[in-house]
Structure 1
Amino acid sequence: MKSIYVGNIPFRATEDEVREMFDPFGDVHEVKFVMDRETGRFRGFGFVRMDDAAALEAIEALDGKQLGGRALRINEARERSPRPQRQQSY
């Protein structure tokens, strides 16, 4: 199972629209848009989870495709590097 980064998504797009773009390449297990913690507004990027072979094919075919007048940036998601713990001050 691979996680695919999808960037430059129009703010009016829906998770269903993104799912429909990826569906022809295989089973889409999850589409998740990233929301701003403070405002709750969509941040313009998200992630799609698919089986490995389908994910690679979708990345190749969809990177740069237009959605709502914007060219999507699509690539294999990287694991987050661990954040350093913040110093607590009292």
Structure 2
Amino acid sequence: MPKRIYVGNLPFTATESEIRTLFEEYGTVREVNMITDRETGRFRGFGFIEMDDEEADTAISKMDGVEFGGRALRVNEARERPGGRQLQ
């Protein structure tokens, strides 16, 4: 079953391709969703990745705190926000 992963503290210059490549080392990345500002369209520095359960757990444990683009990534399992939206 797929699991959603929160990835935070990404550099604002990060691309979907770069993020996918980072996480593909731990398994198949089903989806990358980079969050943008509604008004400006600029990337907000965080997003969500969908991977299979075991692969996601491995990616979370291996990638949390890893430096990417001069920033230490925050990686953990995404939690549901009240109202059905994802929350880190």
| Structure 1 length-normalised TM | 0.89
Structure 1 letter corresponding to 2:5: I
Gaps (5+ residues) in structure 2? none
Partners of 1:82 and 1:24 in 2: CA distance: 33
Percent identity at matched positions? 60
Aligned length: 83
Alpha-carbon distance, 1:24 to partner: 1.2
Structure 1 outlier segments of 4+, above 4 Å: none
Q: Distance in 2 between matches of 1:33 and 1:25?
A: 19
Q: Please name the residue that 1:77 is paired with.
A: 78
2:42 paired residue number: 41
Task: Kindly name which structure, 1 or 2, has the bigger radius of gyration based on alpha carbons.
Answer: 1
**CA-atom RMSD, angstroms?**
1.0
**Distance in structure 2 (CA, Å) of the matches to 1:38 and 1:25:** 34
| Corresponding residue SS for 2:80 | coil
